[in-house]
């Protein structure tokens, strides 16, 4: 098994909605594999922010973004049909919430936002509200607890009397406008499905960026051993092109099932990173071997 390394540095369009484990920094590698190829469907099975899907340089009849978390599939469907984004809408929200001049404003807003989210109230104002929420929260990332509630804390005001400057408001509006343009450029579809319900065709491309599992105690209700076994079987038996991300090794623990599938099928392996941060502020450093595994030929 040959492991190849790539340098990173690639200009892409980034979604204004950030996600834990975002793979935008690997787009140069991904497009080296798929550039100018033709597929029936491209299915990003664990879409997250959708940055992979939005920056692919291949052709397809449909670009399908799937995520078990309903937030961004619903937001992207809404953004696609909004004619205009402007800072006036942001100003209305800021004035409704004391311009977020204290951490109490943030936590009250977060409770209000969770109520709308759980009740599927994905209206136009919810788009702006989500963008503002993610700017204010710790690490500016989407994260939910086991109750399905957004639970990121407030990142703080610092020396500012209120959080949002005119520059930040413009960045939000410009990001939403750019996303609207992209969503109307290709035939995008967004779904909220369990990975067990996805059945690829041999003319499809699968993007697979699941939770990284090396031990039984790393499973959750949303991603069980059944899900992981399904993916391993998919890698072993499917006939369509795929790009799959995971750890091959972490702190001396080897992902033996994945290693066996790679060697059995002579899949290509590209090493992505050797270290990862851990803990609240990513102060801890873990030794890892994060890899991209693919059956697509022509890896240079």
| pLDDT tens-digit map of 81-132 | 998 999 999 999 999 999 999 999 999 999 999 999 999 999 999 999 999 9
Pairing of strands 38-44, 59-66: parallel
35-58 residue pLDDT tens = 999 999 999 999 999 999 999 999
- Sign of the CA dihedral running 282, 287, 288, 289: positive
Over 80: is that where the pLDDT of 183 sits?
yes
Vertex 146 angle, CA 142 and 147, to 5°: 95
Spatial separation of the C-alpha atoms in residues 117 and 130, rounded to whole Å: 10
Over 70: is that where the pLDDT of 298 sits?
no
* Residues making up the chain, counted from first to last: 300
Of 47, 23, 31, nearest to 272 by C-alpha is 23
What pLDDT, on a 0 to 100 scale, did the predictor assign at position 95? Answer: 97
Higher pLDDT, 7 or 226: 226
Of 85, 80, 23, nearest to 56 by C-alpha is 23
What pLDDT, on a 0 to 100 scale, did the predictor assign at position 283? Answer: 53
Q: List the beta bridge partners of residue 66.
A: 191
Number of H helices and number of E strands within the chain?
A: 9, 9
Average pLDDT of the chain to the nearest whole number: 89
Q: Which residues does 268 contact at the CB level (< 8 Å), separation at least 6? A: 2, 4, 293, 294, 295, 296, 297, 299
Give the 3-state secondary structure of residue 247: strand
What pLDDT, on a 0 to 100 scale, did the predictor assign at position 278? Answer: 47
What pLDDT, on a 0 to 100 scale, did the predictor assign at position 284? Answer: 53
pLDDT band at 286 (very low <50, low <70, confident <90, very high): low
Q: How far is CA 27 from CA 57, 148, 169, 173, in A?
A: 10, 30, 27, 24
Pairing of strands 59-66, 188-191: parallel
CA 84 from chain center: how many Å? 25
Q: How far is CA 45 from CA 158, 209, 277, 295, in A?
A: 38, 7, 25, 17
What pLDDT, on a 0 to 100 scale, did the predictor assign at position 2? Answer: 45
Which spans in 13-102 are helix H?
A: 27-34, 51-54, 71-80, 87-96
What pLDDT, on a 0 to 100 scale, did the predictor assign at position 158? Answer: 82
Higher pLDDT, 155 or 216: 155
- Tell me the two tokens of residue 297: 């030929």
């Amino acid at each position: 098994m040959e492991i190849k390394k790539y340098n990173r540095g690639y200009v892409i369009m980034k979604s204004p909605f950030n996600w834990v484990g975002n793979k935008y920094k690997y787009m140069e590698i991904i497009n080296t594999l798929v550039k100018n190829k033709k597929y029936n469907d491209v299915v990003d099975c664990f879409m997250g922010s959708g940055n992979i899907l939005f920056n692919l340089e291949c052709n397809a009849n449909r670009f399908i973004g799937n995520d078990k978390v309903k937030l961004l599939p619903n937001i992207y469907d809404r953004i696609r049909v909004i004619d205009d984004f402007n800072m006036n809408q942001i100003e209305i929200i800021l004035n409704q919430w004391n311009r977020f001049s204290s951490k109490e404003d943030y936590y009250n807003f977060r409770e209000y936002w969770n109520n709308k989210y759980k009740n599927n109230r994905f209206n136009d104002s919810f788009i702006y509200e989500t963008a503002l929420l993610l700017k204010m929260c710790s690490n500016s990332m989407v994260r939910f607890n086991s109750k399905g509630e957004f639970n990121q804390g407030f990142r703080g005001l610092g020396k500012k009397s209120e959080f949002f400057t005119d520059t930040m408001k413009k960045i939000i509006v410009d990001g939403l406008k750019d996303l609207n343009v992209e969503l109307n450029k290709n035939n995008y579809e967004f779904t909220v499905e369990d990975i067990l319900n996805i059945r690829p065709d041999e003319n499809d491309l699968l993007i697979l960026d699941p939770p990284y599992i090396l031990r039984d105690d790393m499973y959750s209700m949303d991603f069980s051993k059944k899900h992981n076994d399904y993916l391993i079987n998919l890698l072993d038996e499917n006939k369509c092109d795929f790009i799959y991300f995971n750890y091959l090794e972490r702190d001396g623990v080897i992902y033996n099932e994945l290693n066996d599938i790679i060697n059995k099928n002579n899949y290509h392996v590209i090493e992505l990173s050797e270290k990862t941060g851990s803990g609240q502020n990513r102060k801890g450093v873990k030794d890892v071997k994060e890899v991209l595994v693919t059956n697509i030929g022509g890896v240079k």
